[in-house]
């Protein structure tokens, strides 16, 4: 799984890059083979209401041409990465589960063998 890390407002240290790689590899685990690409954007910014905000946006492209994007803002960059990674793992799992549910027809109690009933 190739992870591209982009940053705005600062230069990420190597430890931060390793943390992102580990967190995504651990979270995606068994579904990582379905992931085509990952782009992580780290943004340091100031907001009038919240003061300093560290934002982490994770964009994941899946083999089925599906895309999942999650953004998280926290005062600490490591916390923003942690929360965004947890959210994106749940979102990817949910998307794959939905796709699987829509693709598989119901095959219970001989339903495929019987024609639909006409209610007139």
3-state secondary structure the chain: CCEEEEEECCCCCHHHHHHHHHHHHHHHHHHHHHEEEEEEEEEEEEECCCEEEEEEEEEEEECCCCEEEEEEEECCHHHHHHHHHHHHHHHHHHHHHHHHHHHCCCCCCCCCCCCCCCCC
Is 84 a member of any domain? Answer: yes
Is 11 a member of any domain? Answer: yes
Of 97 and 84, more confident: 84
Is 106 a member of any domain? Answer: no
- Domain with 26 in it: what CATH number? 3.30.160.100
Predicted confidence at residue 61, as pLDDT, reads 92
Q: What is the pLDDT of residues 5-59, one digit of tens each?
A: 998 877 878 888 899 999 998 888 888 888 899 999 999 876 655 567 889 999 9
Is 107 a member of any domain? Answer: no
Read off the pLDDT band of 104 (50, 70, 90): low
Is 117 a member of any domain? Answer: no
Is 115 a member of any domain? Answer: no
φ and ψ at 12, to 5 degrees?
-70, 140
Is 53 a member of any domain? Answer: yes
Mean pLDDT score, 68-75: 92
Predicted confidence at residue 115, as pLDDT, reads 60
Number of domains in the chain: 1
Domain that holds residue 9: 3-100
pLDDT exceeds 60 at position 113: no
Predicted confidence at residue 117, as pLDDT, reads 65
Of 115 and 28, more confident: 28
Is 90 a member of any domain? Answer: yes
């Amino acid at each position: 799984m190739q992870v591209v890390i982009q940053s705005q407002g600062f230069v990420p240290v190597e430890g931060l890059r390793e943390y992102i790689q580990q967190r995504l590899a651990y979270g995606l685990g068994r579904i990582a083979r379905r992931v085509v690409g990952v782009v992580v954007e780290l943004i340091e910014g100031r907001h009038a209401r919240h003061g300093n905000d560290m934002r982490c946006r994770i964009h994941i492209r899946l083999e089925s041409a599906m895309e999942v994007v999650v953004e998280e803002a926290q005062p600490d960059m490591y916390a923003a990465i942690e929360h965004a990674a947890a959210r994106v793992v749940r979102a990817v799992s949910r998307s794959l589960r939905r796709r699987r549910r829509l693709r598989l027809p119901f095959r219970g109690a001989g339903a495929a063998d019987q024609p639909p009933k006409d209610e007139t």
